[in-house]
Copies of this chain bind each other. A is one copy, B any other.
Amino acid sequence: MGFDPATLKYDAAGLMPCVAQEAATGEVLMVAWMNAASVAATLATGKVTYWSRSRGAFWVKGETSGHHQRLVEMRVDCDRDCLLVLVEQEGPACHTGRKSCFYTAVRGGEEVEILEVSHGGTSGEA
């Protein structure tokens, strides 16, 4: 059936979490939020477009940093309340300059940084 972003189940703020996974490697890069309009924009443009909760505005990933995410495929979960986007990521996904936002592991009860900074970080959202 045709896909309509309005049929997804958003939270009280009209948002749902979206996991970005690098298509080529399977690495989970980040989790951010989308509303129905950003889902539609992502599909229409091929540029992954989140909703920034802190800025209250659309957030075309890479718009300010140049670290774009090109959509390879969008997937919807069984409850229709979460998204997975497979992407081609240009540069680091994390605003700290690391490839993934998940660079802190819990090992033996301690926090351990497992990814190096590959690019200069950005001061705001990437």
Contacts and interface: CB of A to CB of B under 8 A. Distances in A.
Quickly give the copy total for this chain: 2
A76 to B, nearest CB: 5
Interface string A91-114: 000111010011111110111001
A84 B111 CA distance: 14
A84 B102 contact: yes
B82 A104 contact: no
A101 B73 contact: no
A120 interface: no
Interface in A1-22: 1-3, 17, 19, 21
A73 B107 contact: yes
Contacts of A94: 78
